[in-house]
C-alpha cells in the first residue's frame, strides 16, 4: 500500500484539496506575508529615519528588538486566524447537512476530528513558515541565534494547536458556526489578555501589601502571582527570549535575582495547556457523534426472557 494512503485518509485528502487549492487560500498567504513584511519595513523606517538624532545605525541590538516585534506581531496574527480556521470545521458540516453523511462512513469519530484539525492547522503552519524570508532580515544584522528562531516557531505551532483544539471543541458543541467562533475568540481573549491583566492586578496587590507591612521580601522568596503569567502566551514566549524573565516574573521588587524560578514560564504554559488540548479533543470526539442514551433500568427487547414476550394473541 502506498505510504500516502496510510497517512492521508479521505477526510484529510478532501480538506487539503478544498483548502489548499482555492484562490482565497492563496490570497490569505499573500496578505499575511504582506502584513508581517509591512510591520518589519515600518520598524526599520521608524528607527532609521524618524529618530531624534537623525539616521541611526542598525546594530545587532536593534535587530534583536525587531525580532521581538515580529514575534509578538505574528503571535497576535495567529490568535486572530487560528480560531477562524478551526471553529467552523464541524458546525459548518452540520449547517450544510453533510455531517450525517460523514458520520456514516467508515471513519471513526477521532479520525474525523483529528483530520479536520490537522487540515486546518496545516494551512496555518504553511502561512507561518512562509514568513521565514521576513525573519531573514534579522539574520543580516545578527543578535538572534537559529535556536531562538526554531524555539519560537515551535511555540507558534503549540499555540495554534491550543486554539485549534478549542475551536474544534466549540464547533462540535455548538450547532451554529458564528456562535462557535465567538466563543472561541472569547476564550482566546481570556488566554491572551485576561491572564496578563490578572498578573498585573495581583502583583500590584502583593507589592502594596509589602509596602504596607514594611517588610522586604526574603531572599529567594517567590510570589504565586508568577504562575498567572505562565498561563499567558506573551509571557511564556518572552521567557524563551530571556531566561531571566521567569525569575523576574516570580520575584517581588527587592527580591534576590540570583535565586531560581520555581518553573520556567514556557514550561508551565506547555504543561498546563497540553492538558487543555487533550481534554478539548476528548470532548470533541465524544460529542461529534450523537449517542442514543437509554433510560436507567430499561433493557433492550432482545434481552427479555422468552416467557415475558407477548404471544400472538396478545396474552
Percent of the chain clearing pLDDT 90 (strictly above): 24
Confidence of residue 58 (pLDDT cuts 50, 70, 90): low
In three state form, how does the secondary structure of the chain look?
CCHHHHHCCHHHHHHHHHHHCCHHHHHHHHHHHHHHHHHHHHHHHHHHHCCCCCCCCCCHHHHHHHHHHHHHHHHHHHHHHHHHHHCCCCHHHHHCCCHHHHHCCCCCHHHHHHHHHHHHHHHHHHHHHCCHHHHHHHHHHCCCCHHHHHHHHHHHHHHHHHHHHHHHHHHHHCCCHHHHHHHHHHHHHHHHHHHHHHHHHHHHHHHHHHHHHCCCCCCCCCCCCHHHHCCCHHHHHHHHHCCCHHHHHHCCCCCCCCCCCCCCHHHHHHHHHHHHHHHHHHHHHHHCCCCCCCCCCCCCHHHCCHHHCCCCCCC
- Give 23 or 147, the one with higher predicted confidence: 147
Confidence of residue 115 (pLDDT cuts 50, 70, 90): confident
Taking residues 170-185, report their average pLDDT: 91
pLDDT at 279 over 80: yes
pLDDT at 310 over 80: no
C-alpha cell at 282: 476528548
CB-CB contact of 227 with 261 (8 Å) = no
Supply the pTM of this predicted model.
Answer: 0.82
Taking residues 265-269, report their average pLDDT: 92
- Express each pLDDT in 143-170 by its tens digit: 788 888 899 999 999 999 999 999 999 9
Amino acid at each position: 500500500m502506498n505510504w500516502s494512503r496510510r497517512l492521508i485518509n479521505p477526510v484529510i485528502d478532501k480538506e487539503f484539496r478544498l483548502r489548499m487549492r482555492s484562490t482565497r487560500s492563496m490570497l490569505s498567504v499573500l496578505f499575511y506575508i504582506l502584513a508581517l513584511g509591512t510591520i518589519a519595513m515600518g520598524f526599520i523606517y521608524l528607527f532609521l529615519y524618524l529618530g531624534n538624532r537623525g539616521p541611526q545605525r542598525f546594530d545587532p541590538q536593534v535587530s534583536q528588538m525587531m525580532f521581538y516585534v515580529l514575534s509578538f506581531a505574528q503571535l497576535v496574527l495567529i490568535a486572530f486566524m487560528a480560531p477562524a480556521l478551526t471553529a467552523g470545521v464541524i458546525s459548518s458540516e452540520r449547517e450544510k447537512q453533510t455531517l450525517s453523511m460523514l458520520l456514516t462512513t467508515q471513519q471513526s469519530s477521532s479520525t474525523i476530528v483529528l483530520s479536520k484539525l490537522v487540515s486546518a492547522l496545516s494551512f496555518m503552519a504553511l502561512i507561518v513558515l512562509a514568513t521565514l524570508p521576513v525573519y531573514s532580515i534579522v539574520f543580516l544584522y545578527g543578535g538572534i541565534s537559529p535556536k531562538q528562531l526554531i524555539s519560537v516557531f515551535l511555540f507558534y505551532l503549540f499555540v495554534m494547536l491550543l486554539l485549534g483544539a478549542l475551536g474544534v471543541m466549540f464547533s462540535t458543541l455548538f450547532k451554529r458556526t458564528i456562535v462557535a467562533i465567538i466563543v472561541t475568540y472569547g476564550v482566546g481573549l481570556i488566554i491572551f489578555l485576561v491572564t496578563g491583566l490578572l498578573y498585573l492586578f495581583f502583583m500590584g496587590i502583593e507589592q502594596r501589601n509589602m509596602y504596607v507591612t514594611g517588610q522586604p521580601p526574603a531572599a529567594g522568596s517567590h510570589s504565586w502571582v508568577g504562575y498567572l503569567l505562565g498561563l499567558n502566551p506573551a509571557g511564556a514566549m518572552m521567557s524563551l527570549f530571556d531566561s531571566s524573565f521567569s525569575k523576574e516574573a516570580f520575584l517581588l521588587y527587592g527580591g534576590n535575582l540570583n535565586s531560581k524560578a520555581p518553573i520556567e514560564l514556557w514550561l508551565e504554559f506547555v504543561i498546563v495547556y497540553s492538558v487543555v488540548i487533550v481534554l478539548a479533543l476528548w470532548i470533541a470526539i465524544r460529542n461529534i457523534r450523537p449517542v442514543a442514551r437509554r433510560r436507567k433500568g430499561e433493557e433492550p427487547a432482545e434481552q427479555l426472557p422468552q416467557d415475558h414476550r407477548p404471544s400472538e394473541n396478545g396474552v
